[in-house]
Amino acid sequence: MRYGGGFLSTQLCLLGGTGSIGASTLDLLRTHSDSIRLHSVSGHRQLSSLAAIANEFRPARIAVPDAPSVDQLTPLLQYRPDIVLGEAGLVELAQDPEVDRVMAAIMGAAGLPSTLAAAQAGKTIALANKEALVMSGDLLMQAVQAGGAMLLPVDSEHNAIFQSLPTGYRCGQSVAGLAQLWLTCSGGPFRNQPELDLSQITPEQACAHPNWSMGRKISVDSATLMNKGLELIEACYLFNVPARQVQVVVHPQSVIHSLVEYRDGSFISQLGQTDMRIPIAHTLAWPDRMASNTQALDLTQLQDLQFEPVDNERFASVELARQAAQAGQSACIVFNAVNECAVADFLAGQLPFDQITQWVDRGLQALASAPITEIQQAIACDVAAREWYFKESA
């Protein structure tokens, strides 16, 4: 008798197809074209790579930001797909009745409406867009439940935790017998350089992650450890635990992708290469398994797995995230919005690296908390935090 292994026949909507997660997803689709079809794709303003994706995979529908983008894209296409526009277009693709699985891989707050729409429409959602969850965790989890959607975390740590939870677990449920969740953290590129003046770090240095190859914004977040802060908040919502039950441990080899500690002293974890195609393959095939085109981990080469505490003096992000998670949804929105603005300024050469976290801290102190019971309030809170940042940093 064999467990699992049913036939896969998936119509996939890929939101954020031109990004790093998008590229890894498409790489998997190339070798699994018999079981997963790209039904629709978005790629924002990267229109030439969007055209290349479209011409190769022939999705029936494509989302672009506006009418001028249609004029630019159309001559590059070798066929005539249905092209939809703007945020409404992304929502339409996510809710399309022909789609059964949505890869939510847009970067930042821009991915929120389409992710929420996929939840309301009861899709199986592979969720990479952690900022959407940080901004609207309660609302998104409620929509998942009300819509009968299935949320599968793509973020490698949360994917590892999901895989380490009991079979049949659905995100949003609490787990009997859980002691705490352990998020592993590479420590970023500056962990071993205590003498380094963080104010002098350039975008190129910050984007050179030791273990993972990723988009620029998340690479900066990894260097400030803001990424781990966002992931702490993400874990609270996904796995229905308070912030005090989520711990972060530095594990420079990034082999153990995170752990679940149970009340009886058992630690369960998922191990693998540092290649996002592994968690992506898990979320594309779930509840089955499919090949991820990656090299298997050679256990005999794992000689030294290290673990150390986070240096909270140098990198305040994780504790700031814990405060935000404890304060509630609007503080999490401020945490995310001010970080996004500060990272954009840093990448544009307009803000020193060490001030990213300081701005987030200042934002959390300056902005009063507000009730968030509907999505418009979450968006308004996000906009207010960005306006505050632009005014104060001008």
Binding test (CB under 6 A) with ligand NAD, winner from 36, 64, 107, 144:
107
Q: Is 131 in the site for Mg ion (CB under 5 A)?
A: no
Among 60, 130, 63, which residue's Cα sits nearest to residue 90? 63
User: Quick one: angle between helices 20-31 and 277-285, nearest 10?
Assistant: 60
HSE-CB at 148 with a 13 A cutoff on CA atoms is 3
Q: Is 382 in the site for ligand NAD (CB under 6 A)?
A: no
For the chain, counts of helices (H) and of strands (E): 15, 11
Provide the token pair at 206.
């910050």
Strands across the sheet with 178-185, in order?
Answer: 246-250, 178-185, 256-262, 267-271
Tell me which residues in 237-296 interact with ligand NAD (CB under 6 A).
276
Q: Is 211 in the site for ligand NAD (CB under 6 A)?
A: no
Binding test (CB under 6 A) with ligand NAD, winner from 94, 110, 133, 140:
110
Nearer to Mg ion, 36 or 278 (CB): 278
Among 106, 28, 24, which residue's Cα sits nearest to residue 276? 24
Tell me which residues in 157-196 interact with Mg ion (CB under 5 A).
157
Binding test (CB under 6 A) with ligand NAD, winner from 92, 96, 155, 382:
155
In the bound complex, which residue of the shown chain has the CB atom lying closest to Mg ion?
155
Output the smallest distance, CB 296 to ligand NAD, in A.
20
Strands across the sheet with 82-85, in order?
Answer: 82-85, 61-64, 36-42, 10-15, 101-104, 124-127, 150-153
Nearer to Mg ion, 114 or 156 (CB): 156
- Choose the binding region for Mg ion from 4-12, 154-162, 199-207, 317-325 (rule: CB under 5 A): 154-162
Residue 381 backbone dihedrals phi, psi, to 5 degrees: -65, -40
Output the smallest distance, CB 259 to ligand NAD, in A.
18
Output the smallest distance, CB 278 to Mg ion, in A.
12
Nearer to ligand NAD, 22 or 188 (CB): 22
Site string for ligand NAD, 39-78 (x = CB under 6 A): ----xx-x--------------------------------
Q: Is 155 in the site for Mg ion (CB under 5 A)?
A: yes
Site string for ligand NAD, 13-32 (x = CB under 6 A): ---xxxxxxx----------
Q: Is 229 in the site for ligand NAD (CB under 6 A)?
A: no
Q: Provide the pairing of β-strand 124-127 with 101-104.
A: parallel
- The listed partner (Mg ion, ligand NAD, none) that binds 131, CB under 5 to 8 Å by sort, is ligand NAD
Give the other-Cβ count within 10 Å of 150's Cβ.
18
Among 296, 290, 295, 274, which residue's Cα sits nearest to residue 30? 290
Binding test (CB under 6 A) with ligand NAD, winner from 130, 191, 228, 251:
130
- The listed partner (Mg ion, ligand NAD, none) that binds 16, CB under 5 to 8 Å by sort, is ligand NAD
Provide the token pair at 270.
């998922």
- Choose the binding region for ligand NAD from 125-133, 141-149, 173-181, 330-338 (rule: CB under 6 A): 125-133
Exposure string over 209-228, b if 16+ CB within 10 A, otherwise e: bbbbebbbbbbbbbbbbbbb
Residue type, 169: Y
User: Quick one: angle between helices 317-327 and 226-239, nearest 10?
Assistant: 30
Output the smallest distance, CB 95 to Mg ion, in A.
27
Output the smallest distance, CB 277 to Mg ion, in A.
14
Distance CA 348, CA 342 (A): 10
109 in Cβ contact with 382 (< 8 Å): yes
Residues that bind Mg ion (CB under 5 A): 155-157
Residues that bind ligand NAD (CB under 6 A): 16-22, 43-44, 46, 105-107, 110, 128-131, 155, 212, 214-215, 217-218, 276
